[in-house]
Structure formats: C-alpha cells, structure tokens
Structure 1
Amino acid sequence: MLYGRNDEQARISSLLAGARDEGRSGALLLRGEAGIGKSALLDHAAELASGDAGGRVLRVTGIEVESGIAFAGINQLLWPVRDRLAGLPGPQAAALNAALSGSGPSGDLPAARDRFTTGLGVLTLLADLAEDGPVLCLVDDAQWLDGATAEALLFAARRLAAEAVVMLFAARDDAFTGTGLPELPLQRLGRDDAVRFLAEHGLSRDARDRVLHDADGNPLALREFGMAGDRLPDGSRPLPVADRVVARFQSRIDELPEKTRLMLLIAAAEGRGYMPSLLGAAREMGVGLEDLEQAERDGLVEVSGRSIAFRHPLIRAAVYQGAVAACRISVHQALASSSEDADCRARHRASAALGPDEDVAVDLQDAAERARKRTGYVTAARLYQQAADLTPARDAQAARLRAAANMMLQAGRPDEAEHLAARAGTLTDDPAELARLGRVRAVVEYERGNRRTAARMMVEHSAYAEPDDKATMLRTGATYAWTAGETPALLRAAEALPGDAMVGGLAHLAGDDLARGVPLLAALVAEARTSTPEPRATAGLEDAAGLALVLGDDEAALELAAVEAARCRLNGLIGALPGVLRTQAQAQVATGLHADAEATLIEAISLACDTGLPSGDWRLSAVFARVAAVEGDESRLREMPERSDGALGLLELGLGRYDDALRHLESVHHRYSADAMLAVADLVEVAVRAGQPERARAPFDRFRAWADAVQQPWASAIALRCEALVDDSEDAYAQAVRLHEKATRPFEKARTELLYGEWLRRARRRSDARTPLRSAMEVFERLRAKPWLDRARAELRATGESGSASTPTAPVLLDRLTPQELQVVRLAAEGISSREIAAQLFLSRRTVEYHLYKAYPKLGISSRKELSRLTLEPSTT
C-alpha cells in the first residue's frame, strides 16, 4: 500500500486511462530524492496497466555501472520485443538492430550514423506494439541511463501524440535535467502518513518518535529505521536522510560474515548482476554464490538463476563505499580477468588502475570508438575523457580530450565540448592539435550565435592545421563568414584555398566582383540540379540549395531543398533535417508559400527541440522574422531572438514609419545575396517615400548591378521598380509589372503593382489604377500582409472604388489546417500511405491518422478519395 500518494496515483491513473479509453499518449517524469517512493509508484502503474486487457508493460532500470555502455538501457527495454523490429521502416530497423546487437551498423546506411534514428525506431516500435493494446514504458533510475538510451527514449517521449503509449520516467532530484517532459516532484510524507506507514512495525512511542524524526518523511528511511526500532543508532548527526540510510545499511552489512561481505562487494563492483562475470570473479577470490545466503535472508539482495540484484541502489552504494580501497581494487581486477565483454573489461581495468596507464587508456579508447560507431556519442565522450585521465603523455592526453570534445559536439552539447577543449589546450603545444581544438571552439561559438567570432576563429586556426583538416576548416569558416558578413575572414579563406569554387565565388561576391562570383556559384547550382545522387548517398544538396538562395534562384532552391529533405527523410537523418528545412522554408517564404513555410519551420523547430539540438533558435527565427515583417506583426517580430535590421526595416516601411525604416535599412550589411539585396531595394523605396531621393541613388545602382548579374526575372522586375521610383517613370513600372508575370515572389509583384497603382492614381488615371491595385490586394490578402493590404485598400478607395478583392479558394482551405495537418494532408493527397507519411515526418502511424481525422472535417470531406480531388497547391503569383 502507498501512503500519502493519492494525488500522484491519480495523475498516473489519468494518463493510463487516456491511453486505454481515448488512445492518447503521454509522458511524465517523477522526480525526488533517493528512497522517496519513485519505484513504488512505477510498480503501482505497472499493476494498473497489467490489469487492462491487452495492456503491455516494458521496463528498464538505469544501472550506474552501465552508464558507460552505449544502448545498455535500450537492450534491457526492448530485448523482450526484439522480434518486432523486422516490421519497422528500414533505417529505423537498422538503427535499433545496431543498438541491440552491440556492434556498429552493417553496410553504409546513413541512418545508422544519425543518433536520433534510434529514438524514432523506439517511437515506431512502441506505437506498433500499441496496435494490440495500450503500452506502458517504465524507466526507473533514469539518472543512470547511458547517454544513447536516454537520448533515444526522450526523443520518443517528446514526440508521443495519439499512439496509446504512456512513458513514465523516475529520476533523482539533481540529475536527468532539461528533458522537456512534464515533471511530478515527490514530497516527503507528512506526519500522519508516516505514522500510518510505521504502524506495522509495532514500535514503542519513543522509538516511533525517533524514527519519525530521523527519517523525516522519507519512505525508505521510515522502513529501514522502523526495522531497527530501539536499535537505531543515535540520529542526532546533521546528515542528509540518504546518508543516514546508507549508514544504516552499512551497519547491517558489517554484521555479516566476511565472505558474505566480499561476495556482496563483487556484486556491487560488477553492478549489472550478470552471473557469469560475478561467479568467475568469485571463484578467483575464493567465494561463491552460497556466501550470499545470509544477505538474501536479510533482504539485501535478490538472487535468481540468472542475476543478482540489490533491493535498493543505496544498498549497493553502502556495500561499495564501506569497503577499503585495496579490496575494491582486487575485486575490479578479478572482474576484469573474468569478463568476456571488452567494454566491461575496460571499465574494471580503469577502476583498478592506481595511476596513469597507457595500456588501460587504449582499452578505454577502443571502447569509445565502439560507442561512437553505434552513435553513442555521449558515452564515447565519457570514455575518451576517462582514457585521457589515465594517459601518461600530455600530447596524447590532449588528443583524447579533443576527441571527447568532438563527441560532445556530435551529441549537441557545446558547453561540455568547450570545457573539454579548454582543458586539452593546457596540455599541448602542438600547432596541429591546437588547430583542431580551435575548430571545436569555433563550432561552439557558431552554435551560440556568435557567427563573426566563429568565422575568425575557424579561419585563423586553419593556418596551423594538417592539409585535410585545413581544407575542411576553411570551407566551414568561409560559410560562417558569409552568413555573418565577416568579409575579411572570407577573403582570407579564399586566399588560403585557391580553386575552391564555393569559397572563391562567395569571396568574389563579398569583394564586389559580381562578374566572377556569380558564374562560379551558378555553375555549382546547375551541377547539383543535373546530378542524380543515389538516394542513400551521404553527401547532401543543402549547400547547393543555400547557394541558389544567395543567387535568388527560387526554383532551384525549392527543388534542391526538397530533394535533400526527401533524402534525409528516406534515410532517417533526423539531426540533419532542421537545417535543410530552414533552407526550404526560406525558399517557401520567398515564393509566397507562407502556410507551407510555417509548417516547415514548425517541424524544424519541433525536431530541434525534440532532439535537443542547440542550433535551432536563432537560425530558424530569422526565417520567421521575414514573415512577421510582411504581415506587419510588430510584437511577434520584436520578441524574436534573431530579427535582422532588414526585417525591421520592411516592417517599418509597411507601417509607413519611413525615418525608422531608413535607419534600420541603412545599417544592414548589404552582402550580395538575395535576402540582403531585398533590403537594398527596400532602402530605395524608403528613401523616396521619406522625401530624400538622393539617398536612394547608391542603393539603386547597387541593386541593379546585382540584378543584372544574377539574371533572375523577379530581381530584374524589382530593379525596374527601383528605377521607376528614382526616375518617376511609368514605363519602368509597366515593364516591371509585365516581368513579374514570369517571375516568382508574389509579395514583390504585389508591391510593384501597389506602387504603380499609386502612381497612376496620382496621375489622375483612376480607372487604370484599379487593375494593379486589385491584383495587389488579392496577393496581400492571401499573404496576410495587413499593412500593405490596408494601403492598397486605401488607394483603391481613392480611385472611387469601395469594393475589395475576393480571397482565392485554395488558401482559405489550407488556412483551416494546423501546420502539421497541412503537412500530413499534402502527403496523403499524393497517395502516400499513413505508415510512409509517419516515416517521412518522424511520427507514428496513429499520430498521422489522428491528424487526418482532425483535418477531414475542416476540409469538408470524409475520406482519402475525396482528398485527392481537392486543390491544395496555392498560387505563387
């Protein structure tokens, strides 16, 4: 019976009922100190779930000594259902098979190198199991899970929706933080509940009061101290409750025979309860299973035919901490010699090491490499760090710490990577090693949003790198420099890497040499579009899509980003996808596909959040900033962490605040890229509207030169619009409108039509003005560009017309859907099955069908057949 846990039991019961009765999924983290009753609540949940018809319970308990074994927890959790892996999508099955097999991935499947594919496989497997009835997944002592398992389980938990799966985690107060899961903190029992808890022990009043005082409401302490009764040691010492419980356990252990204590120590040091290793070490030390008889009777351990388990982790801690160091070392040596598992042998050798030992360090490094090959990057980092601690030579120690730092970068933990790199930097004077450490620090700075600093660091450190490292660092540094507007670093990178088309092309643009830069980049984009990479190739097209955006080639950017996103989805490359989706969303925003862009960005942000990626916020919000500026959503734009002066300038321009717009736009770093050059064109309009046309001439000349170089119809149309503004030329307006008809960028087309309509109305040609103004209104309304729509309506009224444009059917239809519903509906309309959609969007099949179920009534339909007849593609003109 559980005392004082009515609210917690009700919370758990509600989750289970939601899964059983409504197919809802949920996750919850129980948090509290050792002995507070977390495991008891998990047991209670298991009893409830087991009582449901068809319900299934899967369990995993984190084991402290297994925290250095990649996917040890996944093996424990999924081994009973491993026969169901064959039904998973290929990349997910490959990733989970690699996790369960204990070896690296077979073949060259990219998904097996993406650390998040395992988590997706867990989600899909749990959802598949839930087809037969609700599934409860219990994770106890989560603070001791190996990093790879924790990452996979948290990814699955964060993406639960409508699978009838409940995941309950339990962890100590000070660990397993930053999970993103709802938490339920467990408090100590009140006096009345504690008294009821102790009633079964039949204590005297004085003994009961002592136990109540010393246990302080901790259930485990109440039990252990209650068992001691009048024999409870003096509890006046100001120790934490957990320490008092450990002391109580140690006093019980001290009363056991010597051989029993030694056998307990072997079990505590081994930690997993794995009988072959335990018995091998026991034989070597002259003890055996029979020596545990008294400990079994005392309730300290439970022995089965296959394993030995301590009744509570604090008992193991008491056994291990209470032993003298020499005895612990001897036990670890015996365990190392008896272990058949290389990773366990390395762990025990490390625990037995009395000082630096290169031979042991090599064993740990090998274990780290095995973890790396299985995408257990956090585990690999910890093992490399252990190896470094046991490495005698300082340079070799630095190299292993640098390897640990790289693994932390792979795991998305830049702060830990920086700490390891800084420590390594104090151990070596080798220029090449310092260059590699500089690369780590530069990546950390970039992930934090310090792009200029990152670019300078990457390029500067590349000067001392080995040839292969140098080329990679220069290309990365050049990319950082371009995005940050750090022209000196970009030019240095190009000088140090002659012949590289991408770096050279960007450097030429940064150096105002459009004639040489644009053709180099255009050739790379054209080559990417004509190539036919294998669907499972490891090299993506994201760079080429980004270059297409630089050149304003919207069609190429949309195509290349879509192909690369599809490749990532096919291969389960979840970690790479947010960056690809960001590029895709930029192209969608540019071409007026705002609903699609929102769905794309929300998916990218969701994946970045669910995977714990540190790179999501500032880069993704920059794309949202453009949409907010178009829509005139001032509060939303100003709350964004990354709001460029270009977006703020467009906002102020739309709201008619020209002096503020001029200030923002003149401070933009006007790189030769499509986004930056739009700010130049906006500056032309702002200067003219602000009554300062002389400030428009230089930006107009700059934009026209860029438009002539990139030869994109939309850019040429805007150049004509700028000419019309500067020269007050109707002919330029008319040419611009005609050219827009062949171009992408509906927002820019509507702005040109608005300006032309205004010009015609001022020229008293009201009837002629109405046509472009109506067309502009239609686009502004579809894009929700309220300030621009208000201006167009005002101009139309000034021509004597009071009506308003009608809204196109398709956008209204799409506007009824949430972003995720829109994604699912689009794929379903193409005839893709729910299971295939789930694999593409990294969801479960039941969640996909839930979104379809919610979307059908909004669209006025009831089936996939009707869905295929709808027009779901909005116009971009």
Structure 2
Amino acid sequence: MREPLTSAKPGASILVLVSGEAGTGKTRFIEWLVTLPELCRVPRLNVAFTGSGAVVRQEPAPPAGTAPAAGGVRFERPPGRPQAGALAPPRSNPLGAPALRELADSLDTGAPTLLVVEDVHLADEQDAYPLRKLLARPLAGLRAVLTYRPEELATPGLVLGAPVGYPAGLGIVQLRLGPLGEAEVRQMATKALGEDRCSARFVARLHNRSGGIAQVVADLLAELKKAGPLPGPEATPAGLDRLTARDVDEAPVPVRRAELVLGRMAALGEEPRRVVRAAAVLNEAASEDELISVAALPTGSGRVALTAALSHAVLHEVSVGQYGFRLPMEATAVYQLMPGPVRGEMHRRAAEALTVRHPEPWARLARHQLASGQIEDWLRSVENAALRAVEARNHQLAITLLEDTLAHAQVRQSNRSRLALLLARNAYNGLRSDQTVEVLRRLVDDEALPVAARGEIRLELGLLLGNQIGRDSEGRAELIKAVEELSTRPALAARAMAALALPYWPAGSLADNLAWLARAEATAAGSGDEVIQAAVTANRLTVLLSMGDPDGWQLLEELPRDDEDPLILHHSARGVSNAGDAAIWLGEYAQARELLAEAPKLGTLVGDLYLQQMASAKSLIQDLMSGHWAGLAVRARAVLAEAGEMPLIAGHAGLVLGLLAVAKGDWSQVAGWLSGSALTGDEGAVPLVAAAAGGRIRLALARQDLGAAAREAAEAWGRLQAKSVWVWAAELAPWAVEATIRAEELGTARAMVDEFAAGIADRQAPAADAALMWCRALLAEADGELTGAAEYFWRTCTRYQTLPRPYEAALAAEASGRCALASSPETAAGISELSAAANELEALGATWDVARVRAQLRAHPGSERRRRGRRGYGDRLSPREQEVAQLVGAGLSNREIAITLFLSPRTVEQHVARACKKLGVLSRHDLATVSHNGDTSG
C-alpha cells in the first residue's frame, strides 16, 4: 500500500480500498499510514463515519522547514470552508456534497493531498453521494483511502452504495485485511502473557476460538491475564502459571464481539432469529436443512430466514452449503441468552437431525442428547464415540469424552464401571489428567467390583501415577496390589510385573527389578498372549540397556516395528523410546538421535501423545550433552510449557535449563530449574535426579559452599547405592568426587571411585567410562601427582571428544592445562590446552566457564595475554571489565565474580564502577541489563 501512495507522480490520483471485517485492524492500518514520513507532511482530510453521522477533521500541511507533530494535529472543522487554524467541535450531521467539495477545494493545490475516509459502510446516501462525485472527478494529486466492512455494506459489493464511474486515470488498489495466522497469534500471546505460559495447544485453541481476528485476540488475552500471575522479569521454572486450552474455552466472550453479533441479531425478524439460535445450539457448520429443522420452520420460510441471517452477517457460509457463525464464541454469546426450555427443545431436534448423518457423529450427538435429557441415549453415544476414537488411535479424545461423562452424577454404577474400564485402558496413552486419577481411585476402592476388574483398573492407575503424574511410590504400590488382584488373569499380571521391573524409578533396588522381570517373563510365556509378550520384551530391553548390557541392543532389533496390531506396535514404540533414553545416559549419542527420531513417528501411529512429548523432552538432553546449544534454551522452555503438570517431561526441560544456567553463570535461575519434583528426592527418575544433583553440587562448589556440596554429594551417592545402576553415575560422579575431596574426605572419595569402577565393569557405557577417568584424574590431583593428573585429564578430554561431549571435553582440557601448569609453569602445552578450552567454551556460549579459564590464562606468567602488559582502553571496556560486566549480567554477586576470576571483591567492585562509567549507566542493575543484551563494547 505504501508504494502506490508515496511513489505516484504528484498530479496522479490514487484510490486505496481497505476492507476487513470488524476487528481485523483497519484503524491500526490508518494509524500506521498517516505517520509514514512521505505522507505526514501532506495536507490531510479525515472523514470518520459513525452510527450518528460523519466526523470531519482537516490537517493542513506543516509550515516549511518544520516537522509535523507526532501523529499529526487534527483540527475539528465545522461545515463550510474552513479558516486556517480555526478550531470547532466535530460535526455529526450529513457530510453533504457542498461541504465535502469546499473542504477538498481548500486543499486543492495540485500537490498531493490525503483523504482518509473510515468506516464507509456506515455512510448513508447523503454522505455516500458526495464521495461518489468526488471520486468520479478526483482532484489532481488526490490520495484517497477508504476503509469498510464488506459484510455491512448497504448494497453488497458496492462500497459507496452505487456505482461510482471511476475515471480511467484513477489508480485503484485493494487491500483485504484478513485474520491473523497462528504464528502471529502466538506473538501476541507471548508478548501479553509471557512465553512460558503459552503452550502450543493453548495458542492453537486461542487462534481457533478468536478466528485470528486481531481485536478478539487482544480482548481474550486481556481476560486471560486474570487467569494467573503475570510474568515477572524472571521465568517461573515450575511453570505453575501455564495456561491451557481449557482456560481459553472458559474465558468470557469479549464484550465487543458479543455486542457485535447480538446487535446484528437484534435487527432480524423472529424467524431469522430462530435460525440463528439453531446455529448456536448446533455450534458447528450445518446444512440449510439441518438449521431449518432445528429451528422448526417450514422449508420456504426457513430459507428466507437463513438468507436474512446471512445478509445481516450474523451467520456466514463457512464452506459450500454449510452455514454457521464466523467465530465459535459468537455461538456462545447467543446460546447464553437462550431460555432453558428453548435450548432443550432445540437440542432434541438437533439430535434427531444428526442421526441421519453417516457416519454417525457420536460425540456431537451425545452433547445434544445430554442437553435434552436423553440420558441412556447420551451414554450409548459417548461409548460409541470413545470406541471410534480408540479405533482411530485418538486416545486423548477418548479420555476427554469419558472423563467428562464420568463427572456427571446421572451415570448409574453399572454404566460407570464399564465406561471407567474403557477410560483406564486408554489413560496410559494420553497426557496427565488428575480427573482420570480420581475416577480410577474411586473404582479400585469399590468392593462391589469383581476383583479382576479392580486389578485391571489398578494396573492402569499405577502406570498413570508413575509416568504422567510423577508419583512413583504410589504407582508402584498400586502395581504390586494389581499383581495380587490379577492372579486369575496372568497376561495382565505379567504387564504389572514388567512395569515393576523398570529400574528408572527409585523405589526398590536393581535386584528387586530383576526379580520382577524374571516373574514377568515366566508369566508372559505361559499366557500365550502376544501383546503381553511384546510388553515384557520392551521392558526387558529397557532394563538391559539401562544397565549397560549390550544384549539389549539385540532385543531392540527384534522389536516388531511394523506389526498390524496397534497394541503390539504400542509396546514396540515404548521400547524404541526407552532405548533412545538409555542410549543418552550411556553416551551412545548417534544411536540415541536415531531412536528419538523414530519413537515419535511410532507414537503417532498408535496415537500415544505422551510418548511423542517424551521424545521431544529426551531430545533436549541429547542436544545438551552433544553440544547443540544454539536455541536449546528456547526449545526447553517450549517443552516445559507443553508439559503442563507432567513432572517427568518438565524434569527433562528443567534439567537442561538448569545445567545451561550453571555454564552461562545465570546462577539465580539454577535452584529453580533443578528443584522440580522430577529432579529431587525419592520420586524423580534416577538418572535425572543424579544429573540434577551433579548440577547442584557444581554450583555449590563454584560458590565455595563446600559443606553444601559435600552434603548433596553424599545424599546423591546414597541414592545411587540403593539403586545400584552405576552407569547412571556418569553425570554425578566427577562433581560428587570433587566435592568429597574438597571436603577433605579423600578416603571416602577413593571408596566412591572404586565403587563406581566396580559398578560399570563389563558394561557398555562410554559416558560412564569417561566420567570414571575424570574421577581418577581428580584423585591424582588430590594426591599431588600433577603430571599424572594432567595425563588423566587429557585422556578424559579425548574420550569426551570421541562421544562427542564438547562441553565436558573443554572442562577436562581446562583441568589438564591447570595441572600441567601447576607441575611445570613454563609448559607451553598447558597454556595451549587452556586456550583451546576457552575457545570451545566461548563457541558453546558458556559465559561463566570462559571467564574462569581466561582468568587462569591471564594469571599465568607464560600467557601471551599476560606478556602484552597493560594498555589503555580509553572509553572502551578492557577485557577484564567486559568479563565482569558479563558476569554481572548473568546475575553473579561481586563475591561470586571474585571467586570465578581469582580477584578480590574490592577489585571486582572497582571494575563494576569503571564499567558503569564507560557505558553511561547509573547502577549495577542497569549494567546487568546492558550486559544481558550483549552491548558491552563501550
């Protein structure tokens, strides 16, 4: 639009027609247009139509050599030829041809003149006529912009109510402002609510309910801000204020949109209003016959009524032959004002109308049957809808339908048990739902149910508690009870035993897990059930790979990945996903990447949303370890937003964000990210908790809090001893051993290393092997064998490079260089290793580590940086000042910066003061803001 308006020859005339339904941004477009540098200096005439008349504003060109005021100064003009600079209230009587011509003539200088006419659809004939006359013979240099709502034009298709007869020399450009796309809605949502609150499902529902209409999106977001605390300057690691699709559904209809649709409806006669109410009851696109049937109108008058509703833009043709509201919320606004008896009768007729559709829309049918009191029909339709969803592998839909139904008191016990069992069989494939847990808990406590039925429900409850809900001890207790109750159903009992065999959870030792696995295999073999055998096989390979037993890889190859039975395929998908997870902790990153790419594809085939989300969460750990840090924090936050209240998925994202925060020096964030229920205590998954403990120990060591580091190390080591899966010590052992050494408990540290070595003997676990080498290097350094320690650290670096684990390789190279220089200050290799480590850490973005390594380099007499001597930097920050400023921006205190850079707190304070002066900021807070944004060049 800018091009034709600003680039046309001075004497040329241009007409721009801007159309768009209510709320699409026509006013915002005009506000943008009139502030363009090319247009804000030309004379402008504004005409805005309202329901009570026209408001005319004239703005003369600014005097030569002066700049116009921001947004322009608008002078209100009375009718007639205006006097320069005169002010008068805006007039609201008809515009009139003489008045418009006089106003236009006052600007007719032959130079470009801008005419802006807003909301032309509100103009009556008296106002439209002079505009038609003006555009039929436009002034030289006229730039006319007209905005309107196409659906409200008095004569459809004719902007000014009648043909204009535009001259051949008039350039005409059309702009249609449509709805926003989902990506644009996401931008609006994250700006208003914060990125961590806006999951993909939330944004998708917001886009759907608002129709992408910008004003509706803005109004809904204003309502949703009340649903939880607004985001502060720091993220909320626990994600307790995330918004869901249900929050969008429960938000009230914005006043503007409700008044728009209800106002249009009020202008209709009684029969068209009945058609509109029928559309509100159906709440979906419907055919003409369906709308007329639900409205209980004869065919002829019903067609006339529908046509009236369409012509008044209350209803729309949403697809060929299908009619409904423009936005789902408009149906809500109409439905809420309908009397109860009218709603009930219309729902009954809607149910009758839908029974002739094929295939039967069971879920929609159920809604109308419930609203019209047809309880038995409703329950039958719900069950059919759930079964169809399961057949289509849309388990989440089945879960939602059954949950909502079981929440109603009208459901009798006989129906409740049957529907609850169907819910239980699908709950494990869906996402977290506390509502499902409560339903299943009530059923397993019901003594009237047969024992075997309770056992099956209890099995599903135990799986749900241990995975989606993240309460493993409760889930394990339910699974043990389920084994007893399923004594007459060995196939299901074997599935419970196989779940108890998984060592991932902290309860029970590895020996207990292996005993359950042996029972599961024996029971499954005797059952003759191929589905259960597939389940046990998937869990067996999980156990073996978790231990680092290479036989697990052979079992993985034998999984039936293309079986036609969806239940068998589901267990194969689990096996692939679990193998990918095990590969990450073992250090088999190439295999992990392949498996985590395959798992969600299999999950899609079987409709397992939880497995798909878990694959995304596990991929975060994979990328953290293999050094793919670009954009990783953003992805982790997105996964965290999607996780909702599922602790295990949130734990993966929190671990990644916490460990990144340690490396980047964002220490104020670490405790929050690494303190989730999945990363602490006795409920979290063992490898996740061990890795998070490693991060917490490292932070305590960095802060010189040796007591806290030693306590954390002892507790974390005790948890691993209880489980005895020592390959999972890879992310903990180096930090736990270092903390123990620095706490002057060298004997305990040796025992830890010996225990670790024995635990991973004969295991295929490259990450654990590298970590063990690191631990031995730490012992050598503690013994004062610096040359040997440097060699151990260098071998550690090489092993991590092979995996690859670039971050750990750089840390090992730093340690090797440190030991080499301590043993022989003139060793060039030590300086080279420190320099290489600094470069690698800088490439990763590990701000804190880079600052620490470079401080070591400068402190050494053999460093090139040191030999350069002092130099003046003028108004630019020195390298040391830049490092201090960056660490301030990361949130470190002066004491923490001093520890990192081997300086005194007083020296750090001086560097902060000089950095503030050079950058022109007044406080440490301002310096942190500048540094966080990366502008520390001075």
TM-score range, shorter chain: 0.5 to 0.7
Which residue in the other structure is 2:700 paired with? 652
Which residue in the other structure is 1:581 paired with? 616
Aligned pair in 2 of structure 1 residues 353, 705: CA closer, same or farther (>3 Å)?
Answer: same
Aligned match of 1:421 in 432, 435, 440?
A: 440
When normalised by structure 1's length, the TM-score is: 0.55
- Correspondence list, 1:740-779, <5 A: 740-742=797-799, 743-744=802-803, 745-764=805-824, 766-767=826-827, 769-779=830-840
Aligned residues: 621
Say which SS state the counterpart of residue 862 (structure 2) adopts. Answer: coil
* Counterpart code for 1:651: L
Cα deviation code 1:284-329 (max 9, x no counterpart) = x9x734676998899899899968879976666666623597x779
- Correspondence list, 1:312-461, <5 A: 321-323=340-342, 331=349, 335=353, 342-343=360-361, 346-347=365-366, 350-351=369-370, 357=376, 361-374=379-392, 380-381=398-399, 383-384=401-402, 394-404=413-423, 412=431, 414-425=433-444, 429-438=449-458, 439-440=460-461, 442-444=463-465, 446-461=467-482
Q: Aligned partners of 1:611, 1:157: CA distance in 2, in Å?
A: 21
Cα deviation code 1:520-556 (max 9, x no counterpart) = xx22236647999679987443221222233333443
Aligned pair in 2 of structure 1 residues 296, 639: CA closer, same or farther (>3 Å)?
Answer: closer
Cα deviation code 1:634-658 (max 9, x no counterpart) = 1121231536322110222344433
Aligned match of 1:635 in 668, 693, 704?
A: 668
Task: Extract unaligned runs of 5+ from structure 2.
Answer: 1-21, 37-120, 123-147, 160-172, 186-199, 228-242, 523-535, 680-691, 867-933
* Counterpart code for 2:777: R
- How many Å apart are 1:181 and its aligned residue? 8.2
Aligned pair in 2 of structure 1 residues 324, 10: CA closer, same or farther (>3 Å)?
Answer: closer
Aligned pair in 2 of structure 1 residues 355, 795: CA closer, same or farther (>3 Å)?
Answer: closer
Which residue in the other structure is 1:91 paired with? none
1:155–1:610 Cα contact (<8 Å) kept: no
Aligned pair in 2 of structure 1 residues 224, 782: CA closer, same or farther (>3 Å)?
Answer: closer
Q: Aligned partners of 1:780, 1:469: CA distance in 2, in Å?
A: 51
- Correspondence list, 1:88-127, <5 A: none
Structure 2 residue 776 is the aligned partner of structure 1 residue 720 = yes
- Compare 392-401 and 379-388 and name the one that shifted more: 379-388
2:473–2:507 Cα contact (<8 Å) kept: yes
Aligned pair in 2 of structure 1 residues 455, 626: CA closer, same or farther (>3 Å)?
Answer: farther
Say which SS state the counterpart of residue 342 (structure 1) adopts. Answer: coil
Which residue in the other structure is 1:464 paired with? 485
Aligned match of 2:861 in 800, 803, 814?
A: 800
When normalised by structure 2's length, the TM-score is: 0.52
Structure 2 residue 685 is the aligned partner of structure 1 residue 664 = no
Cα deviation code 1:171-221 (max 9, x no counterpart) = 7979997349899998869xxxxxxxxxxxxxxxxxxxxxxxxxxx97888
Q: Aligned partners of 1:605, 1:688: CA distance in 2, in Å?
A: 35
- Compare 543-552 and 424-433 and name the one that shifted more: 424-433
Cα deviation code 1:19-54 (max 9, x no counterpart) = 9x99xxxxxxxxxxxxxxxxx99x959789x99847
Say which SS state the counterpart of residue 678 (structure 1) adopts. Answer: coil
2:700–2:706 Cα contact (<8 Å) kept: yes
Aligned match of 2:794 in 737, 747, 758?
A: 737
Cα deviation code 1:824-858 (max 9, x no counterpart) = xxxxxxxxxxxxxxxxxxxxxxxxxxxxxxxxxx9
* Counterpart code for 2:244: G
- How many Å apart are 1:795 and its aligned residue? 4.6
Say which SS state the counterpart of residue 388 (structure 2) adopts. Answer: helix
Aligned match of 1:557 in 573, 592, 616?
A: 592
Which residue in the other structure is 2:504 paired with? 482
Which residue in the other structure is 1:690 paired with? 743
What value does the CA root-mean-square deviation take over the aligned residues? 6.0
Aligned pair in 2 of structure 1 residues 794, 786: CA closer, same or farther (>3 Å)?
Answer: same
Which residue in the other structure is 1:680 paired with? 733
Cα deviation code 1:358-406 (max 9, x no counterpart) = x763343112323444566565445445776699873542231343466
Q: Over alpha carbons, which structure has the higher Rg? A: 2
Q: Aligned partners of 2:851, 2:761: CA distance in 1, in Å?
A: 33
Q: Aligned partners of 1:605, 1:751: CA distance in 2, in Å?
A: 26
Cα deviation code 1:396-433 (max 9, x no counterpart) = 42231343466677563513323433454465523343
- How many Å apart are 1:721 and its aligned residue? 1.6
* Counterpart code for 1:720: R
Q: Aligned partners of 1:220, 1:751: CA distance in 2, in Å?
A: 64
Aligned pair in 2 of structure 1 residues 700, 320: CA closer, same or farther (>3 Å)?
Answer: same
1:482–1:490 Cα contact (<8 Å) kept: no
- How many Å apart are 1:443 and its aligned residue? 2.0
2:585–2:727 Cα contact (<8 Å) kept: yes
Q: Aligned partners of 2:324, 2:593: CA distance in 1, in Å?
A: 57
1:652–1:661 Cα contact (<8 Å) kept: yes
- How many Å apart are 1:497 and its aligned residue? 2.0
- How many Å apart are 1:621 and its aligned residue? 1.0
* Counterpart code for 1:399: R
Aligned match of 1:288 in 282, 292, 298?
A: 298
Aligned pair in 2 of structure 1 residues 763, 525: CA closer, same or farther (>3 Å)?
Answer: same
Q: Aligned partners of 1:279, 1:188: CA distance in 2, in Å?
A: 29
2:437–2:461 Cα contact (<8 Å) kept: yes
Q: Aligned partners of 1:182, 1:280: CA distance in 2, in Å?
A: 28
Q: Aligned partners of 1:751, 1:307: CA distance in 2, in Å?
A: 64
Structure with more contact order per residue of length (Cα contacts < 8 Å, sep ≥ 6): 1
1:561–1:584 Cα contact (<8 Å) kept: yes
Task: Extract unaligned runs of 5+ from structure 1.
Answer: 1-7, 23-39, 60-121, 128-133, 135-148, 190-216, 228-248, 511-516, 806-857, 859-877
Q: Aligned partners of 1:613, 1:678: CA distance in 2, in Å?
A: 26
Q: Aligned partners of 1:281, 1:572: CA distance in 2, in Å?
A: 35
Q: Aligned partners of 1:303, 1:722: CA distance in 2, in Å?
A: 73
Aligned match of 2:753 in 700, 713, 721?
A: 700
